[in-house]
Structures are given as structure tokens and as C-alpha cells.
């Protein structure tokens, strides 16, 4: 089955295509502040480069985040509405899982790390491979890199866009042997993970698909009393 | 019945004329996509799916031929308004993302249609909260791409103009239109269905915003009901004396056609903040009625002045505040006195909805326009043709 993979969580439009476990295309287009304008064009050009049209796609994979909140809303909305409009099955994929998947082949566990906005905090998830399948160990993490270091109990590979700098901090804080694997959220990784799920007959309800924010909005809850305007 | 006849006409190939395509759309045509699909017959029935997510309403609607509303689905976010005391852009955008698919499906299902029946998609892409607009536009362009149907981006305020066209097909041109909501207070001279000019706008708060803020100050907002500040004041005013307090009528005497409501809001707050600080009870109904009367006086007087300046005998009122009962009453009375016909859309078309977006989109598509798949959002776009 040909699966289209999208990920717009990292200020890029990552679009990939796979046929079962074979990558057909994997492209990343810059989208600095706006993942919206070119997203459909980019999908169309990736399909075109593989000699395909949307009608040839058997399923859709969507990177759910975490990452840019605006970015993941665009990707998830496009993914769910494309699935709804074409009647194709859709599978949401955690962007952290897709990042970890790009480092597949290493024997250690993989800690996928994504920056929270422009600050020093990170979103993270710890993954390991068993029998060719990728599994997350424990919950997602949101917080400081130092806090993440305290959670790690064994040597691992840090995967992400600033892997080397994070690995340095974590190695210093934890005293463990930490390797770095530089990787960006990619469309093909999302497509491959979605293809595996779809091949098993699992898919998500397109209309119910929601981004993985991992962080509440900072809005304050309103106190119903007299309040200054 | 009309529909059946119309749909049977739809797939015919007779007298197919092509739409003039905008530059961005042509880019796609040049690459070979859409070449055989973006043509629509000018004579044929056209079913437009409208999508609106510019503020805190997630809405979708199906409108046939720009005038028959087959469905008009609006999901409001009153529970979130209640929780946060107002619209929080990030919170609203998250809710849009959760709901958009369900709302589009509901608009289709309740009209007994599928996406196969839809000929074009119209979406609010200009004026609104950027993160919210993006969800609607992402959905609309996905449908346009997947179904190979034209896409048209609409200015939200232009959508409001078409709320009147939908409810009153006989609305004459030229006329003056007051668009008054939580986001806008704007007087427009509408020469015909494609030419309009802004005569005046608010210099600070929109009228609806003043309603919300005064309601919030009085502790009325969202406290025990699923309505916005405007409706709370509207309801409370019915038990109050509108002459109890003489609040200022900002810019009533100014020669221009602009508005200002920030000062009125502050006048209400300053008058009662000492009492509130001392914990004394307030004559809430009288305050609400007097405040509302001040807003209504200004809105009606300025709109009538605009009609007089532009020498038109018809005015239309649209936007969420047009649902206010006192405003509707005073407009009707004043219109009758001054021989000006007042057109007021039904309540379902006053507040943000997607039927008006579909109707506006239909008009632009009929004129040969379409936006193309690179459609982007413009949160502060000026109103223009």
C-alpha cells in the first residue's frame, strides 16, 4: 500500500511517500512561519515526483507533534480532511516516535527530543525496538533537559535536531554514556510507521484526529466575580 | 423539488464556459493539474461548501446557487469562553482543529449531500485570528485538492454583507450596511454586489466588544448561561429602565461616520467601581438597559446619517450585535420615521456562520475568480474588492 506521510511540526513541510516498507520519496520544504501556504502544493509535487497522484495513495500518515502548535494544527487538519475527502484510512503518528524511528538499527534505547518553542525546554519520549517494532517506554516528557537527564537510567542515543548539544548536557548531568543522532522530523518516517499500522488493519478515526500538544495553552482560567476589564 | 431539477442539470456538458482563473490558480493549471476539472458551466447549478473559523465559531454550510441555504452548522465555544472569560486564540484554534471535520460532515449529512455533490469550497481567509483562520483554510484547501473543485478565500466582513443578500434577495442597491459584531463596527456603502466602500469604522473597541467587557465588569459574563455578554445585557435590559443613567453617546455629534466605544465602556466602569469595591449591590438591569441604549442610539444615528449622506433609502444591519432586540426595534422605528427601509437578517445569519461565506464565495466564483491552492490567511486584511 502506498502511504503519504506529512509532518509540519518543525517549521517545515516534511512530505514523504512509501510503498509498504520501501521509501518512494522524502522531501522537506522550508516553511519558516507558515506551514499553510505551500502544504498542498508540496504534497502534490512529491506525488508528482514519484509519478503518482493523490488517487494512487492507499493511506495517509500524519505527524501529530509535539512541535510548533500552529504547524501541527495545519498538518493534522490537512491529514484528517484529505482522509475524509478521499475516504482513505489515516494513522496519526507521534513526531517523537518518527524521530526515534529514523535512528532505527541502534541497539540501545533511543530518546527522541524536540525543542519547546525557542526556549531550553524539551519534549521527549524514550523508545526501544523489540522484534522490529518501535515501542515507547513510559510517558512523554515535557521539561528541562536537566530534568530529562535525571530520568534516564541507562546509556541511550539522543535523536533530534539539536541532538549533539542535548547529548552533551545529558551526559554531563547523568554521567551515562550518551550518543547523539542528528535527525529532523521526516515525512517518510511518518509514512513508514503509518504503513505498518495500516497494514495491520489499524487506523484512526479521521474526524477525531487531534494534535499531540503535550502542553496546555498558557491562558488563565477566568475568575467569575467582579473583574477589572 | 427545485433541488432535484437543479441537480439533474448539474453534470450536463452544455455550453461549458470556463472561469477566468486568478494568477495563483494558473500556476497549478500550468503544471497540468486541474486542467480538466476547474471549469464550471456558468449556467449550471452550483453547490458551494462554506467554511468559517475566523474567531471562536467553527462553522460549515451548504448553499445552492448563492441563495438557498441547505445547511448551516455552527459550533460555538461558550464552554471555553466561560472558562477563560473571553476568546483565547490558542484555545479557540485547538477547538477548531478538533471540530472542523465533524462540522463539515454534519453540514453535508444534514443537507443529505456528499462531497460528490459539492462544486466549490469557500472559506474565510481574511480578517480574524490567524491561528483560527489557518484551520479553516487548511481544511478548505484539502477538500479543494482532494476533490478537484475550485477554492475561494473570502474576507470575513464581505461574508457578513452576504448574510443580508441570503435573507433578503430583494435588498436594493445601492444601500448602506452596518456590520457590527465583537470584532467590527463598520459602515459600508454598498454600490452593487461587488463594489463597496468603507464610510466609517470604530476607532477603538467594537460595539460587541464593549457589550462583552461591560458584562464582564458587571460580573454577568458567562456566569450561569451559555451566552455571550451581548445577549446577557440584551436580556437583562428588558427588566431595566433605559433612562436610569445618562451615559455618554460617543461621537454622536461628530461629523464623520466613525465610532468609538472605549470611552462609554470606561464611563460605565468608573461610575460603579467604587460601589463594587465597597461590595454594594448594583442596579444591574438599569445599568445594562442604559448602557445598551447609549450604544443603540449611536449605531442607529450614525447609520441613518450615512444613509442621508449617501442618499440611499435602504440600510442593512449585520454581524452578531444585529441580533440585539433593542437595536432591531430602534432601527425599525427610526427607519419608518425617516422613510428608510431597514433589512435585518434572521438571528442565525447575524452571528458568524458559514452560509454567508458560501454565498459570498458563490458571487466571486460566478465572476470568474478563484484563489488557488496557495491560499494563505490575512488576519488584518483591509476590506476591498
Angle between helix B325-338 and B284-309 (nearest 10): 40
| DSSP string of B141-168, one letter each residue | HHHHHHHT--EEEEEHHHHHHHHHHHH-
Cβ of A210 and B213 within 8 Å? no
Which chain A residues are closer than 8 Å to B216 by Cβ? 227, 229
Does A77 sit within 8 Å of B135, measured CB to CB?
yes
Q: Is the ipTM of this complex over 0.90?
A: yes
Per-residue pLDDT, averaged over B319-346, amounts to 95
Nearest CA-CA distance, residue B343 and chain A, Å: 34
Q: Residue A227: its chain B contacts at CB < 8 A?
A: 85, 216-217, 219
Strand partners, A14: A7, A28
Q: Which residues of B touch A229 (CB under 8 A)?
A: 213-214, 216-217, 265, 269
Residue window 271-300, chain B: list those with CB within 8 Å of chain A: 276
How do strand B47-52 and strand B120-126 relate by DSSP bridges? Answer: parallel
Residues of A in contact with B218 (CB under 8 A): 226
For the residues B83-87, what does the mean pLDDT come to? 79
Residue A225: the pLDDT is: 47
pLDDT digits (tens, 9 = 90+) for B4-38: 333 333 333 333 333 333 333 333 333 333 433 34
Inter-chain touch A54–B147, beta carbons under 8 Å: no
Name, in order, each residue with C-beta under 8 angstroms of B284's C-beta and a sequence gap of 6 or more: B218, B220, B236, B240
The DSSP letter of residue B343 is E
> pLDDT at residue B65 above 80?
yes
Of the residues B101, B139, B284, the best mutation for testing chain A's interface (the one with the most A CB atoms within 10 Å of its CB) is B101
Segment holding B170, helix H or strand E: none
Task: Choose among A70, A86, A209: nearest Cβ to B134.
Answer: A70
- The CA distance from A75 to B134, in Å, is 11
pLDDT string in tens for chain A (229-residue length): 999 999 999 999 999 999 999 999 999 999 876 789 999 999 999 999 999 999 999 999 999 999 999 999 999 999 999 999 999 999 999 999 999 999 988 888 999 999 997 678 999 999 998 888 899 999 999 999 999 999 999 999 999 999 999 999 999 999 999 999 999 999 999 999 999 999 999 999 999 999 999 988 877 776 554 443 3
Asked whether A89 and A59 are in contact (CB, 8 A), the reply is yes
Q: Helix crossing, B229-237 with B284-309: angle to 10°?
A: 110
Cβ distance B97 to A211 less than 8 Å, yes or no, reads yes
Beta carbons of A179 and A67 less than 8 angstroms apart: no
The CA-atom distances, in angstroms, between B173 and each of A58, B108, B249, B331 are 51, 33, 30, 19
Mean pLDDT of chain B: 86
Cβ pair A73:B139 closer than 8 A: no
Peptide bond into B39 cis (omega under 30): no
Express each pLDDT in A84-111 by its tens digit.
999 999 999 999 999 999 998 888 899 9
Report the gap between the CA of A59 and the closest CA in chain B (Å).
Answer: 13
Q: Cα distance from B140 to chain A (closest Cα, Å)?
A: 8
Per residue in B288-301, pLDDT tens? 999 999 999 999 99
Interatomic CA distance for residues B368 and B184, integer angstroms:
29
Please, are residues B70 and B50 in contact by the beta-carbon 8 Å criterion?
no
Instruction: State the pLDDT at residue B44.
Output: 67
pLDDT at B14: 34
| pTM, rounded to two decimals | 0.89
- Using CA atoms, how far residue B280 sits from B196, B274, B293, in Å, is 49, 9, 24
Report the pLDDT value the prediction gives residue B221, as an integer from 0 to 100. Answer: 58
Q: Residue B98 and residue A210: Cβ atoms within 8 Å?
A: yes
Question: Coil, strand or helix: which one is B356?
Answer: helix
Q: Which residue has the cell 463539515?
A: B104
Under DSSP, the state recorded for A220 is P
Q: Residue B143 is nearest to which of A41, A70, A85, comparing CB atoms?
A: A85
pLDDT score recorded for residue A60: 98
Q: What is the DSSP string of B70-122?
A: EEEEEE--HHHHHHHTS--HHHHHHHHHHHHHHHHHHHHHHTT--GGG--EEE
Residue B384 pLDDT class (50, 70, 90 cuts): low
| B residues 191-230 closer than 8 Å to A (CB) | 213-214, 216-219, 221-223
Measured between CB atoms, which of B94, B139, B221 is closest to A81?
Answer: B139
Give the torsion sign (CA, B75, B80, B82, B88).
Answer: negative
Identify all chain A residues contacting B85, using CB atoms and an 8 Å cutoff: 222-224, 227
Q: What b/e sequence results for A20-38 when a residue is b if at least 16 CB atoms lie within 10 Å of its CB, and e otherwise?
A: eeebbbbbbbebeebbbbb
Average pLDDT (B273-279) is 84
Q: Beta B58-64 vs B47-52: how paired, if at all?
A: antiparallel
Residue with cell 454567508: B356
By the 8 A CB rule, do B321 and B327 touch? yes
Model pLDDT for residues B215-256, shown as the tens digit of each residue: 888 877 555 555 678 888 999 999 999 999 999 999 998 889
pLDDT recorded at residue B32 = 35
pLDDT digits (tens, 9 = 90+) for B125-173: 999 999 999 999 999 999 999 999 999 999 999 999 999 889 998 899 9
Cβ B259 vs Cβ B250: under 8 Å: yes
DSSP state of B241: -
Contact A213 B213 (CB under 8 A): no
| C-alpha dist (Å) from residue A102 to A72, A113, B18, B301 | 19, 13, 47, 66
Residue A176's pLDDT is 94
Record: contact B265-A229, CB cut-off 8 A: yes
Amino acid at each position: 500500500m502506498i502511504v503519504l506521510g506529512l509532518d509540519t511540526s518543525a517549521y517545515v513541510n516534511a512530505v514523504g511517500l512509501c510503498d509498504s516498507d520501501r521509501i518512494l520519496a522524502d522531501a522537506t520544504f522550508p516553511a519558516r512561519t507558515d506551514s499553510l501556504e505551500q502544504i498542498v502544493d508540496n504534497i502534490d509535487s512529491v506525488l508528482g515526483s514519484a509519478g503518482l497522484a493523490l488517487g494512487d495513495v492507499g493511506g495517509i500518515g500524519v505527524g501529530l507533534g509535539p512541535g510548533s502548535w500552529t504547524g501541527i494544527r495545519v498538518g493534522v487538519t490537512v491529514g484528517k480532511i484529505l482522509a475524509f475527502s478521499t475516504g482513505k484510512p489515516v494513522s496519526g503518528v507521534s513526531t517523537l516516535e518518527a524521530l526515534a524511528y529514523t535512528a532505527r538499527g541502534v541497539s540501545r534505547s533511543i530518546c527522541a527530543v524536540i525543542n519547546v518553542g525557542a526556549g531550553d525546554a524539551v519534549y521527549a519520549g524514550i523508545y526501544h525496538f523489540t522484534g522490529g517494532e518501535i515501542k515507547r517506554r513510559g510517558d512523554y516528557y515535557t521539561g528541562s533537559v536537566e530534568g530529562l537527564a535525571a530520568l534516564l537510567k541507562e546509556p541511550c542515543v539522543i535523536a533530534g535536531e539539536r541532538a549533539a548539544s542535548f547529548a552533551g548536557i545529558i551526559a554531563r548531568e547523568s554521567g551515562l554514556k550518551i550518543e547523539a543522532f542528528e535527525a529532523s522530523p521526516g515525512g517518510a518516517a511518518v509514512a513508514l510507521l503509518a504503513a505498518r499500522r495500516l497494514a495491520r488493519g489499524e487506523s484512526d478515526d479521521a474526524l477525531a484526529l487531534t494534535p499531540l500538544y503535550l502542553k496546555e495553552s498558557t491562558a488563565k482560567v477566568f475568575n467569575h466575580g467582579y473583574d477589572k476589564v | 423539488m427545485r433541488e432535484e431539477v437543479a441537480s439533474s442539470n448539474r453534470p450536463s456538458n452544455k455550453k461549458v464556459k470556463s472561469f477566468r482563473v486568478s494568477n495563483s490558480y494558473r500556476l497549478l493549471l500550468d503544471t497540468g493539474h486541474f486542467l480538466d476539472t476547474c471549469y464550471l458551466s456558468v449556467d449550471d447549478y452550483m453547490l458551494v461548501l462554506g467554511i468559517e473559523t475566523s474567531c471562536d465559531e467553527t462553522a460549515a454550510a451548504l448553499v445552492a446557487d448563492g441563495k438557498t441555504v441547505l445547511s448551516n452548522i455552527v459550533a460555538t465555544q461558550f464552554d471555553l469562553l466561560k472558562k477563560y472569560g473571553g476568546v483565547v486564540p490558542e484555545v479557540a484554534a485547538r477547538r477548531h482543529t478538533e471540530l472542523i471535520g465533524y462540522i463539515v460532515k454534519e453540514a453535508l449529512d444534514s443537507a443529505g449531500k456528499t462531497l460528490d455533490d459539492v462544486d466549490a469550497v469557500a472559506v474565510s481567509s481574511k480578517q480574524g485570528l490567524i491561528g483560527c483562520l489557518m484551520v479553516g483554510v487548511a481544511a478548505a484547501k484539502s477538500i479543494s485538492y482532494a476533490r478537484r473543485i475550485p477554492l475561494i478565500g473570502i474576507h470575513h466582513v464581505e461574508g457578513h454583507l452576504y448574510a443580508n443578500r441570503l435573507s433578503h434577495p430583494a435588498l436594493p442597491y445601492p444601500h448602506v450596511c452596518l456590520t457590527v459584531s465583537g470584532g467590527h463596527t463598520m459602515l459600508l456603502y454598498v454600490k452593487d454586489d461587488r463594489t463597496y466602500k468603507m464610510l466609517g469604522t470604530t476607532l477603538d473597541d467594537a460595539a460587541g466588544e464593549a457589550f462583552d467587557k461591560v458584562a464582564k465588569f458587571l460580573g454577568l459574563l458567562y456566569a450561569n448561561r451559555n451566552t455571550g455578554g451581548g445577549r446577557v445585557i440584551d436580556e437583562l435590559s428588558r427588566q431595566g429602565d433605559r433612562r436610569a443613567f445618562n451615559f455618554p453617546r460617543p461621537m454622536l455629534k461628530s461629523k464623520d461616520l466613525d465610532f468609538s466605544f472605549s470611552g462609554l465602556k470606561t464611563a460605565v466602569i468608573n461610575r460603579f467601581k467604587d460601589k463594587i469595591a465597597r461590595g454594594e449591590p448594583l442596579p444591574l438591569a438599569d445599568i445594562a438597559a442604559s448602557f445598551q441604549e447609549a450604544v443603540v442610539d449611536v449605531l442607529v444615528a450614525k447609520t441613518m446619517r450615512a444613509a442621508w449622506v449617501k442618499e440611499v433609502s435602504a440600510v442593512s444591519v449585520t454581524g452578531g450585535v444585529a441580533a440585539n432586540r433593542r437595536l432591531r426595534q430602534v432601527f425599525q422605528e427610526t427607519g419608518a420615521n425617516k422613510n428608510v427601509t431597514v433589512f435585518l437578517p434572521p438571528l442565525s445569519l447575524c452571528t458568524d456562520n458559514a452560509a454567508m461565506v458560501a454565498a459570498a464565495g458563490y458571487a466571486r466564483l460566478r465572476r470568474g475568480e478563484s484563489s488557488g491552492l496557495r491560499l494563505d490567511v490575512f488576519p488584518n486584511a483591509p476590506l476591498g474588492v
